[in-house]
Amino acid sequence: MTKEQKIQLVKDLTEKFQEYPNFYLTEAGGLTVSETNQLRALCYEKGIPLQMVKNTLVKKALENLEGDYSEVFDVLKEPTSIFFAGAENPSVPAKLINEFRKKNEKPLLKAAVIETSVFKGDDQLKALAELKSKDELIGEVIGLLQSPAKNVISALKSSGGTLAGLLKTLSEREE
């Protein structure tokens, strides 16, 4: 690879990191060609961009971004595959990796960056897979906000006859 090609690759990778704020760095070395093709097909099916890049180029691209990504530099050893995820659902790559690992040993999670938070180590994969999407969180918040109002309205409706009877009884007492 020529120097110009490397410069262009770093530029393209920097743009990809800017487009996808959430990404997973994994070790996929040791997969056979067939397994790698299966992984790529699964990524394509789920709409997850996957890129295999030299670690030095990944580091240079991360250095071009705003923010401090130095925390992940120490995991940039061995062949690295990058799974990119959009802001709306950052857990999709973790779920995909879990699904793929039901039949394979790899890829192993080196680190993940989710909204500037860094998760390091393969033991973080389960927690990442359980992250809720933005839409799911908004739905839960709306449900929680609506719950007290619904309880008050339903209590008033169910005791409406009782309340009316109580008022009638109180007004008759005063006469």
Confidence (pLDDT) at 68? 87
Tokens 């394979």, located at residue: 104
Residue 25 host element (H or E): strand 22-27
Confidence of residue 78 (pLDDT cuts 50, 70, 90): confident
Tokens of residue 165, six digits:
């009877």
Q: Where are the beta strands (DSSP E) in 99-148?
A: 108-114, 117-120
Q: Is the pLDDT of residue 82 over 90?
A: yes
**More confident of the two residues 165 and 73:** 73
Which three-class secondary structure state does DSSP give residue 64?
A: coil
Secondary structure of residue 24 in the 3-state scheme: strand
pTM of the complete model: 0.73
Mean pLDDT is lowest, of 86-100, 128-142, 147-161, for 147-161
Single-letter residue type at 131: L
